[in-house]
Structure 1
Amino acid sequence: MPNQSVPLVITIQDIQGKPILKFDKFQEKLMHLIIVSDDLKLFNHLDPTYKGEGRFEVNTNFYEPNNYTIFSDYKPTKDKEKVAVMNIKVSGSTPLPTVLAKYKS
């Protein structure tokens, strides 16, 4: 549902599906997460917490039903900066499950 705290879990994996374990800070953080609504009313910049084993976590609110694009910006150690994109839909009638995203670098 809109305007409820939603846990976002992002797992970064290599091409074989194994978690990437090490990340370099860039712009002072290990990951930047940008959430933008399709109508551009919402723009949210979050910095998820690294939990190890390629897993990042953060809580956020989606304030109204809409389609949203989520951009994850991160830099695996000894690799270039990466941006992963995911689209989600927030409806107003059913509770939101935990959003799990797996990105392969």
Structure 2
Amino acid sequence: MSELKSRPPSKKTPDLDAFLSGAEEKTTQKKTASKRKPKYPWEADNVRDDVTKVYNLRLSEPYLLKLKYIAEHTPDSMQKFCLSVIEKEIDKKIKELTK
């Protein structure tokens, strides 16, 4: 005789109490997480130091040529040079703005 049946096997009925208690746990976790709102966007929990984002910089042609000249005459690449200068200036400006 064939093992085929006229209806599909029924699913186990979910435990309603476990479902409701799980929902309550998630609700209380959200409430406590929202109370700890970071003061600044870069202090948020989802911001990671190991993630690099791209930002395009528009330079006039003379400044681009100057940057290339710096890269050719120093051990730093154009990217590395700009990053070191810009990060210092960003931190300096943030310090001024957040006093």
Same fold? TM cut 0.5: no
Give the alignment's TM-score, normalised by structure 2: 0.24
Look at both structures and tell me which one has the larger radius of gyration over its CA atoms. Answer: 2
Relative to its length, the structure with more helix (as a share) is: 2
Give the alignment's TM-score, normalised by structure 1: 0.23
